[in-house]
Structure 1
Amino acid sequence: MKKSVAILFAFIISQFHAQQGPYYQQSAKYKMDIDVNAEKFTYEGKQTLDYKNNSPDELNVVYFHLYWNAFKPGSMMDQRVASQGKNGDSRLQKDGISRLASIPKDQEGTQNIHWIRQNGKTLKFEVQETVMKVYLAEPIKPNASTTFTLEWDAVIPQQIRRSGRNNREGIDMTMTQWYPKIAEYDYDGWATFDYIGREFHAPFSDFDVTIKINKDYVIGAGGILENPMEIKGYDANAKIKADKNKATWKWTAKNILDFAWAADKDYIVKSFDVPEGPKVFLVYQNNDKTKVWEEAQPYITKYYQLMNAHFGKYVYPTYSFIQGGDGGMEYGMCTMILGEAKNIEGLMGLMAHEGAHSWYQQMLATNEPMRPWMDEGFTSYAEGYVMNQLFPPAQKLPNPFFNSINAYRNFVKKGIEEPAVWLGDHHDNGTSYTYASYVKGELYLVELGYIMGEQNLAETLKQYYDQWAMKHPSDRDFLHIAQKVSGMDLKWFQNYWINTTKTIDYGIKDIKYDAKSTTITLINNGQVPMPIDFSIMTSDKKIVNYQIPMNMTHTWKTKDAYGEFKTMPYWSWTQKEYTITVPYTKSQLSMVGIDISQRLADVNPDDNFIEVK
């Protein structure tokens, strides 16, 4: 390297580290007044937004999300669905054709911004479909605050994805990502991804929301209802205060990412308190298809107790499970889910997943569009962990994630896997996105538990919560804790598992029996190196475990929840084969095998065990 180039390179690196500086996060306070015309599915909105710039950067522009502008023919979402055809999200299409293309004009999602002001000064703005760029009258300096005011009106779109009117279960209004929402600003810059149908990101904010709507409607929302005595459905003795046949609902919420609500004339509201947990609200239509909601209370109570104990305490005072949306989607202090369910296990599976997003999306608020595998994957891991205890399988499985590992193996065979590192909306195949984000993200934690031991994984998750709850962590922050807890170098694993589609494939190549011992030759047929748990079962059914470390970790696992291990010499990641000799003869053995716990996401497990006869 030439000296001048080396000096320039050193300067660039020094600037990178200088800019990183101490952690910061922006904050916002919304006050909104909403007047709903239920007959026309429209509303008028007024918003005051107090915004604090806690970054070291001076801001000359700000950005807002206008998500509903995606729900119309010709939008970017429509174009993306059309280009993907049957490879895309099945909920956005019918017979491979985009459902957005046929939205009637009067049901298109629309957010018309009348004006926006900064400290009373009218601002110039540009609407770039689902993103609004606002040019400031005065810069927001570091550690300074400013106040935005704006007015807008909106058309509630035909229900296509998550938001909208008249969903397929008959919910009148699902009001999610429904207001002009300021974008997150952090070290990566403004989080201004166009909305194509997947994930969201936002600063932690406080909300004070007043909603006027026909008095026949009941609202479920993520927040605290400040006037329950005036509201139908929330208090048996409520005296409804109506203004021209409209009731006024006053909601507040603190330190959440977004405020969501739904409204329907047929909603009922039930509530109960979880010991040392939140007050839970169930908001749903009471009919034959939603009967299982009546069985949910004891399961939800145990759910929160398990989540609090293993993943960190739920910090908000309430949580609402609301029938609405087109499947399940998480928001601040609530979720919108389909209400119809055949049995309590099916309903709780949905509630367990969406509820777990309160940890891995809300309290630990990673950037979902950039790292959906952290959001959906960690949530899926928590769901699997809890559901295994709420509904123990009739046939005992080797581990709670056995079915997810098998699903991953079967998917890999299709040859359409895409790396988990890809941005959420930029996956080419809908099923590939699901496996990259949900399944590989879940198995990221399962494989870490296998590599460093379940006790170290549990401690990592605990410290992750303790250090990063109510902040915006990244994968680098999580990996830092995992390496510190385990004492292992784990960067190689994250690179293989998240950034590539390379697979794990170990097997037993050969076995030789001698007079006093048995020698087994193992082979690595895959592209991802791993440490290996190797076990033998004696003829009298005793199990002896051996840990064959992989050299890149530099520290070895000696025990975990699945047993203690005798440590063997390490297996270099460049080495194709490995031999292990155990002090047992053929007559003393009944089985030898790789990964008796079956946590290793080996794509070809058929050659992992040999029964000794």
Structure 2
Amino acid sequence: MRRFLLAGLVLALAGQLPATAQTTNSGTDKFAQLETLLPGPNSYRTASGAPGKDYWQQRADYDIQVTLDDAKQAISGRETITYTNLSPDVLPYLWLQLDQNILDKNSITTATQVSQLQEKMTFQALEGMLSDFDGGFKIESVTGKDGKTLKTVINHTMMRVDLPTPLRPGQSFAFNVKWRYNINDQLKISERSGYEYFPEDKNYLYEIAQFYPRMAVYSDNQGWQHKQFLGNGEFTLPFGDYKVSITAPADHVVGATGTLQNAAQVLTSAQQKRLEQAKTAKKPVLIVSQAEAVQAEGKRATGTKTWTYAAKNVRDFAWASSRKFIWDAMQIKQNGKPVLCMSYYPKEGNPLWGQYSTEVVAHTIKTYSKYTIPYEYPVAISVHGPVGGMEYPMICFNGGRPEKDGTYSAQRKYGMISVIIHEVGHNFFPMIINSDERQWSWMDEGLNTFVQYLTEQEWERNYPSVRGEPANIVSYMRTDKSLQTPIMTNSESVLQFGPNAYAKPATALNILRETVMGRELFDHAFKTYAQRWAYKHPTPADFFRTMEDASAVDLDWFWRGWFYTTDRSDLALESVKYYTPSTGDPAVEKARQQQLQAAAAPSISAQRNATALTSTLVDEKPELKDFYNQYNPLAVTPADQQRYTAYLGGLSPEQRQRLGQQQHFYELSLRNVGGLVMPVIVQLTYADKSTEIQTIPAEIWRKNNAQVSKIIVTKQPVVSFVLDPFQQTADTDLSNNAFPRQAAASRFELFQQQQPAPQNPMQQAQSASPAPKQEQKPVGGGGQ
């Protein structure tokens, strides 16, 4: 413990502010503003992050007829696209996306795929390498409304359509495309859509997307977005109205984007009645029961049915078809508008899917609407198939299947719930708040994963969320920087796609909400962004600027560190110096020094000399002693008292009162080891075991990005300091967070190699207490 005169405190505080900013690692000032990195504002996109007065976007409307060939697993279709040029530019040609061409044998994806041979390989991996699947679009014709052939150029996953005359601002152009393609087996060629074959009953389940040539986006900030589809960078599409007629086997059930236009022609009277019941039910109602689906599996109806769906102001369209489908539905009200929440799944998905899927859909729509904008589409659908998870407007494809005996692990249950939340949540990001997925995956995956985390926590208290909590990103942030890329990296160049595009931005937003901005400011700014850019095309700059504009919080340091670098969060508490102010009273101060001396342990030499030296020379010759052999520097003298009286006389009454207060001063030496500037969160533990949390904003680092000191004053003594006690900042090294240092408790586990796969807890319980086997019944209503 050290003491100082109060007059010295001002000098100590002033001494920690250098005249010029000092930086860490790369030499870049962590608080430099982003103006040099962001595009300049203009009449299309303002400096506040809002759409400008001249903002525009293009429109594409579709009329599609498509046929599913269940015998050959193939698609054929024709479409009329009406493209409206709402830009100020004259367009001599149009660009379409041919995303199925990623499965062409000569695709860029196949040619550039990096792989290695392993000593052990699965048959599935080998089949993927040797596949002779004939994939990709077969474009049969592209014609104008007059039937004349239009000149086209196909460049891998992009097709240019040359117009007979340039399309001027405000004009529309309609043209026809006819095509076909083979559907991939998703268990062999894992893509975002395809089919699953069930050998037990010889049936197929189809999840169909990217099934038609689609217009690319032409925007104010980059012109045509026609980067090739290589696999990671997903889809960027304009809004429009869709009318889609799907011809499938007569015994198939077809679910799709939009609302069914011809229910009387494709549904039985019982199914129509149940669908009406679902609109007022408080739990999911079965439109097609498990018994009915099982019956359909064993038969083969002849002929076909055509299901017609319509959707307004959507950016895409997808559908699913199978005779195996169980179908349930439940309607909710969102902002006064009805939303029909539905699920389609085979019996192999039960009991999980019948119990949870539609309830999860409804919960997701409600929760996302609270944090962003009210959901305005009429339906929201979850389809169960082999895909881990994929999203489209109003419909998504989700995995998560129980064991064949109907049991499942907790991981499987929560994994299924999470993937449904995530994919249904994509209705908001990017289906409504329509960011450029081909360029910036984080703008849809990261923002969506963040709201997914909020939705999971509102589903069940202490829900085991995998992403969102700062502690969960630490292992990724610790990895070598050569294995990381900044969040602001093009989708196709991202390393460690899941952590980078999903987990890291979601965690960053959670830290913004809980630690940097606070919930009130963050929630308002985040909702403002969603409101401003609903049904529009936002960019990263629009998001960054809106979050600051709506909160009055300068976040440039945060975007720069979390989104533009691979720096990690690692703040160290290197030392703590303890001071108490001197009273100036010689009686008090000298008595304190006497106590300190008495309590101090003598040196090892002094301890040994006490017995080893029987006498010293001065002991033997007393004549060598003088005044100082009798002098006690800690004795209080009249001169000491005179100086103290003079000292008190020079103080004001307020200053004399300050001398009487019991205060403890601690100087904390802080170092930014990881390079990522973050708020300093300190937990103080006092001698009476009570605790206090002090949060110091990240701006403490603005003058020196590498090392600072901070004085903390308390009324009672502190026995320990701990940085980030609740792991709010994703600190990657907790060993340097405490003073005095604390050992991190851990354990190691002994295990035996080649153990048999364990049963899940439900199977273990059944093994311990066998119960009579009962036929599984699907959850929900569905009576005739």
- The bucket for the TM-score relative to the shorter chain is 0.7 to 0.9
Per the alignment, in what secondary structure is the counterpart of residue 166 of structure 1? strand
Partner residue, 1:73: 105
- 8 A Cα contact 1:222 1:332, kept in partner: yes
> What is the root-mean-square deviation in Å for CA atoms of aligned residues?
3.2
Pairwise CA distance, 1:514: 2.8
Residue of structure 2 aligned with 1:519, choices 667, 680, 684: 667
Rounded to whole Å, the distance in 2 between the matches of 1:325 and 1:211 is 22
Partner residue, 1:35: 67
Pairwise CA distance, 1:120: 4.7
- 8 A Cα contact 1:46 1:150, kept in partner: yes
Residue of structure 2 aligned with 1:386, choices 452, 455, 471: 455
Q: Which amino acid aligns with 2:529?
A: Y
Partner residue, 1:456: 521
Partner residue, 1:406: 474
Residue of structure 2 aligned with 1:487, choices 536, 545, 552: 552
Partner residue, 1:504: 569
Q: CA offsets per residue over residues 396-436 of structure 1, 9 Å max, x none?
A: 99x961453334345x2585112222221233x4xx12221
Rounded to whole Å, the distance in 1 between the matches of 2:430 and 2:171 is 27
Pairwise CA distance, 1:544: 3.5
1:294 to 2:358 alignment: no
Q: Which amino acid aligns with 1:293?
A: W
Q: CA offsets per residue over residues 501-531 of structure 1, 9 Å max, x none?
A: 1222211000122343222211111222233
Rounded to whole Å, the distance in 1 between the matches of 2:547 and 2:399 is 36
1:183 to 2:247 alignment: no
Partner residue, 1:209: 244
- 8 A Cα contact 2:99 2:210, kept in partner: yes
Partner residue, 2:17: none
Pairwise CA distance, 1:194: 1.6
Rounded to whole Å, the distance in 2 between the matches of 1:265 and 1:486 is 52
Rounded to whole Å, the distance in 1 between the matches of 2:446 and 2:260 is 32
**Which is further off, 516-525 or 126-135?**
516-525
Partner residue, 2:227: 193
Pairwise CA distance, 1:458: 0.9
Residues 400 and 174 (structure 1), Cα distance of their counterparts in 2 relative to 1, 3 Å cut: closer
Per the alignment, in what secondary structure is the counterpart of residue 238 of structure 2? coil
- 8 A Cα contact 1:126 1:133, kept in partner: yes
Structure (1/2) with the larger strand percentage: 1
Partner residue, 1:59: 91
- 8 A Cα contact 1:183 1:202, kept in partner: yes
Pairwise CA distance, 1:119: 5.9
Residues 316 and 414 (structure 1), Cα distance of their counterparts in 2 relative to 1, 3 Å cut: same
Residues 528 and 237 (structure 1), Cα distance of their counterparts in 2 relative to 1, 3 Å cut: closer
Residues 529 and 102 (structure 1), Cα distance of their counterparts in 2 relative to 1, 3 Å cut: same
Partner residue, 1:564: none
Q: Write the mapping of 1:558-577 to structure 2, written as runs, cut at 5 A.
A: 570-577=700-707
1:361 to 2:361 alignment: no
Q: Write the mapping of 1:524-563 to structure 2, written as runs, cut at 5 A.
A: 524-540=672-688, 542-551=690-699
Q: Write the mapping of 1:212-361 to structure 2, written as runs, cut at 5 A.
A: 212-232=247-267, 236=271, 245-276=303-334, 278-287=339-348, 289-296=349-356, 297-341=358-402, 342=408, 343-361=412-430
Q: CA offsets per residue over residues 94-143 of structure 1, 9 Å max, x none?
A: 689686543334x4233323223266543100111211111111111112
Residues 595 and 115 (structure 1), Cα distance of their counterparts in 2 relative to 1, 3 Å cut: same
Rounded to whole Å, the distance in 2 between the matches of 1:379 and 1:539 is 45
Task: Name the TM-score, length of structure 1 as normaliser.
Answer: 0.85
Residues 317 and 608 (structure 1), Cα distance of their counterparts in 2 relative to 1, 3 Å cut: same
Residues 356 and 48 (structure 1), Cα distance of their counterparts in 2 relative to 1, 3 Å cut: same
Rounded to whole Å, the distance in 1 between the matches of 2:392 and 2:227 is 18
Rounded to whole Å, the distance in 2 between the matches of 1:16 and 1:400 is 32
- 8 A Cα contact 2:247 2:304, kept in partner: yes
Partner residue, 1:104: 132
1:131 to 2:192 alignment: no
Task: Name the TM-score, length of structure 2 as normaliser.
Answer: 0.67
**Which is further off, 468-477 or 299-308?**
299-308
- 8 A Cα contact 1:63 1:132, kept in partner: yes
Rounded to whole Å, the distance in 2 between the matches of 1:441 and 1:573 is 27
Partner residue, 2:505: 441
Residue of structure 2 aligned with 1:583, choices 710, 713, 723: 713
**Which is further off, 163-172 or 376-385?**
163-172
Q: Which amino acid aligns with 2:354?
A: E
- 8 A Cα contact 1:418 1:433, kept in partner: no
Q: Which amino acid aligns with 1:517?
A: F
Higher Cα radius of gyration: 2
Pairwise CA distance, 1:547: 3.8
Q: CA offsets per residue over residues 374-397 of structure 1, 9 Å max, x none?
A: 111111111111112213228999
Per the alignment, in what secondary structure is the counterpart of residue 360 of structure 1? coil
Q: CA offsets per residue over residues 480-504 of structure 1, 9 Å max, x none?
A: 1111123232223222322221222
Residues 77 and 189 (structure 1), Cα distance of their counterparts in 2 relative to 1, 3 Å cut: same
Q: Which amino acid aligns with 2:216?
A: A
Rounded to whole Å, the distance in 1 between the matches of 2:528 and 2:80 is 37
Q: Which amino acid aligns with 1:204?
A: F
Rounded to whole Å, the distance in 1 between the matches of 2:523 and 2:71 is 51
Question: Percent of pairs identical after alignment?
Answer: 25
Rounded to whole Å, the distance in 2 between the matches of 1:394 and 1:218 is 34
- 8 A Cα contact 1:115 1:152, kept in partner: no
Pairwise CA distance, 1:42: 2.2
- 8 A Cα contact 2:250 2:302, kept in partner: no
- Structure 1, unaligned runs of 5 or more: 1-12, 88-92, 552-569
Residues 595 and 269 (structure 1), Cα distance of their counterparts in 2 relative to 1, 3 Å cut: same
Q: Which amino acid aligns with 1:458?
A: D
Residues 400 and 153 (structure 1), Cα distance of their counterparts in 2 relative to 1, 3 Å cut: closer
- 8 A Cα contact 1:590 1:612, kept in partner: no
Rounded to whole Å, the distance in 1 between the matches of 2:504 and 2:39 is 35
Partner residue, 1:373: 442
Pairwise CA distance, 1:232: 4.5
Pairwise CA distance, 1:349: 0.7
1:24 to 2:82 alignment: no
Per the alignment, in what secondary structure is the counterpart of residue 502 of structure 2? helix
- 8 A Cα contact 2:192 2:390, kept in partner: yes
**Which is further off, 488-497 or 125-134?**
488-497
Residues 96 and 531 (structure 1), Cα distance of their counterparts in 2 relative to 1, 3 Å cut: farther
Rounded to whole Å, the distance in 2 between the matches of 1:326 and 1:272 is 24
- 8 A Cα contact 2:724 2:731, kept in partner: no
- 8 A Cα contact 2:346 2:384, kept in partner: yes
Q: Which amino acid aligns with 1:520?
A: L
Pairwise CA distance, 1:178: 0.6
Pairwise CA distance, 1:607: 1.7
Q: CA offsets per residue over residues 8-36 of structure 1, 9 Å max, x none?
A: xxxxx999957877211111110011233
Rounded to whole Å, the distance in 1 between the matches of 2:544 and 2:80 is 39
Rounded to whole Å, the distance in 2 between the matches of 1:417 and 1:313 is 36
Pairwise CA distance, 1:197: 1.8
Pairwise CA distance, 1:311: 2.5
- 8 A Cα contact 1:78 1:100, kept in partner: no
Partner residue, 1:8: none
Larger RCO (alpha carbons 8 Å, 6+ apart): 2
